[in-house]
Amino acid sequence: MKKLISSATVQKALQFIREQELLKNGDSVVVGFSGGPDSTFLLQLLLIIQNIFNLKIYAAHLNHKLRGKEADEDEKFVREFCKKHKIECLFDTKDIQKIAQEKKQSIEETARNERYRLFNEAAQQFKANRIATGHTLNDNAETMIFNFIRGSGVSGLRGIPVKRDNIIRPLLGLTKEEILDFLKKEKIPFRVDSTNFEDDYTRNFIRNKIIPLLMELNPSLFDTLSITADLLRLLEKYIEVEEAKFDKIFVAKKAEKLLRIKIEENVDYKNYLMMDLIRKKINSVFNVQIGYEKTKEIVNLVKQEKGTTIQINEKILALRESNSILVLVEPEFEEVNFSVTYDSKLQKYYGSYFEFKISSASVKEAKLSDNPYVEFFDADKVKHKLILRNWKPGDKFVPLGMKYSKKVSDILTDAKIPSIFRKQILVLCDGPEIIWLVGVRLSEKYKVTNETKKVIKARINYDFEI
């Protein structure tokens, strides 16, 4: 075994492992072992370099119960290999076809999920800190081509991750051909890839039809794509760090389904980060995947006027505010119609959006408010019951400082209230007459004057600034 360490293939794999820092001294590794050439080579490789890193080596094998007898023979091969090399292996059997039907997933997806579940179980049981899989340069090229065709951006073009959490892929620097050559030359037996369930239509099409054509133009395609993947991995790492710095412009309130994006000056050149982060944040806050076009529309709100809204989907809106872009779930219409008693202190309505409070106040205090959500009015002018209700078409009153009555709808338009918020604006009424278009305008009739003796203070608290 030791003499194999000088083989060019082993050396190439070792260099890759060192460059990518996949193993460190004393690591415990579970190998996902199907019995096929890649995972057989991976196990052999780890045995050959075991002493360099003082590795503890384990394996895990899932019998997928597909292709009947063949799968059982794979398992038998794995059992024998492990016995011979004294490797502890966790075995499991799952009826993938049945699970796939139950979960309404593809066979490939189900098989993959069940495999990684078993690998993690094995890692726990053996107290291993690494799971190694046998993905090769070929698998990487296929994935990259697939992602290039379907368009999955930078993160797709960097191919299969070399390292993610506790999973490592030590063979991503070798081609399948190099692996088969080594196995043949060293007369190491393996099972023909019968348990490879990744051979779905698309992957086979890429492997057998597309790659041979691409290789006519570039015979070193695998190496070329591997370099591209390396570069994009470096780029992604850089972008991640920069995004973490840029993250401060995002205020994500998951519980309230609200996302605020502060608009900074002169960061146009950061639009890539902006788009990437918006996509991620919207996914995290609203659990919605948005595409390139929508993301671009949201970014372009920066250049739009205050109050401009765009529809992200049937329920979610983005709104340009003065210094930020607000993404939120469009508020549903909720009927409000209740009698406000003079001594009511704290009342909460309309989902979680606001609370309405009314109390008495001094005449002096009445002159000081510049908060549009606080209003003072003359208590003696109130002749009927105080009613808080939704405004409705046809509502009108004489706004403060004016002589003639005006329609509520026109007042709202003039005040540039974004249409999505109009329907949730309320009116406080003295029976049939409007005292206050809440948050927007008081009635001239109810204003506090020098003759006012008793003042009512009304206040609406929003959970967030509109």
CA proximity to 402, closest of 452, 449, 442: 442
Work out whether 218 is an interface residue with its own copies (CB under 8 A). yes
Work out whether 302 is an interface residue with its own copies (CB under 8 A). no
CA proximity to 225, closest of 181, 135, 169, 160: 160
List the one residue from 102, 186, 200, 242 that touches its own copies (CB under 8 A). Answer: 242
Number of residues that bind its own copies (CB under 8 A): 40
Shortest reach from residue 234's CB to its own copies, in Å: 4
By C-beta, is 8 or 192 nearer to its own copies?
8
> Measured between alpha carbons, how far is residue 391 from residues 32, 429, 434 in Å?
65, 10, 9
Contact set for its own copies, span 251-270 (CB under 8 A): 269-270
Work out whether 230 is an interface residue with its own copies (CB under 8 A). yes
Q: Where are the alpha helices (DSSP H) in 247-369?
A: 271-286, 292-300
Work out whether 199 is an interface residue with its own copies (CB under 8 A). no
Shortest reach from residue 241's CB to its own copies, in Å: 5
Kindly provide the b/e burial profile for residues 361-375, where b requires at least 16 CB atoms within 10 angstroms of the residue's own CB. bebeebeeeeeebbb
DSSP label at 333?
P
> Measured between alpha carbons, how far is residue 32 from residues 39, 215, 223, 330, 371 in Å?
7, 30, 25, 47, 64
What does the alpha-carbon distance between residue 333 and residue 140 come to, in Å, rounded to a whole number?
51
Shortest reach from residue 280's CB to its own copies, in Å: 14
Shortest reach from residue 41's CB to its own copies, in Å: 24
By C-beta, is 202 or 308 nearer to its own copies?
202
Work out whether 245 is an interface residue with its own copies (CB under 8 A). no
For 424, residues 6+ apart whose C-beta sits below 8 A from its C-beta are 331, 333, 334, 350, 353
Shortest reach from residue 70's CB to its own copies, in Å: 29
Asked if 48 and 5 touch (Cβ cutoff 8 Å), the reply is: yes
Work out whether 8 is an interface residue with its own copies (CB under 8 A). no
| Dihedral (CA of 66, 67, 72, 77) sign | negative
Work out whether 307 is an interface residue with its own copies (CB under 8 A). no
Contact set for its own copies, span 108-167 (CB under 8 A): 146, 148-151, 153-154, 157
- Site residues (vs its own copies, CB under 8 A): 146, 148-151, 153-154, 157, 202, 205-206, 209-210, 213-214, 216-218, 221, 224-225, 227-228, 230-232, 234-235, 237-239, 241-242, 269-273, 275, 292
